[in-house]
Amino acid sequence: MRAFRNADRFPTFKIVRRPALFDDVSLQVNRGDLIKRLRSLGWEGPEYRSDHPFMLKEGSPPLKIPNPHSRDISVDLLTKILKQANISRSEWLRSG
């Protein structure tokens, strides 16, 4: 087959999954719990002036949070939100 003739010239990549900061399914939260915990960590809001609600904290950029949905917030999305908010795993676990 002609399509695979040059296959040995191209490098192959192995996909390696890095361990996530919050790689525990039990850490899924709903939107109300997320807001409650962020408030306990010093964030105010949510404010509704754009396409997504956001929360505010002195000295930090606005933190976008998800719109209300019927499902819990996934661990991946929670990880992204907490990284943007500069909240460590231990801080998050203590806030609950």
**What CATH number is attached to the domain comprising 79?**
3.30.920.30
Alpha helix positions (H), 42-86: 75-84
Counting the structural domains of the chain, the total is 1
Q: For residue 6, what are its two tokens? A: 């040059």
Q: Is residue 9 part of a domain?
A: no
- Please confirm whether the linkage preceding 46 is cis (ω < 30° from 0): yes
Q: Is residue 7 part of a domain?
A: no
- Model confidence pTM above 0.85: no
Residues 29-60: b if buried by 16+ CB within 10 A, e if exposed: bebeebbebbeebebebbeeeeeebbbebeee
Q: Is residue 72 part of a domain?
A: yes
Q: Is residue 59 part of a domain?
A: yes
Q: Is residue 40 part of a domain?
A: yes
Distance CA 55, CA 63 (A): 5
Task: Supply the range of the domain harboring residue 69.
Answer: 20-95
Q: What is the mean pLDDT of residues 56-84?
A: 88
Q: Which range among 8-17, 32-41, 72-81 shows the weakest confidence by mean pLDDT?
A: 8-17
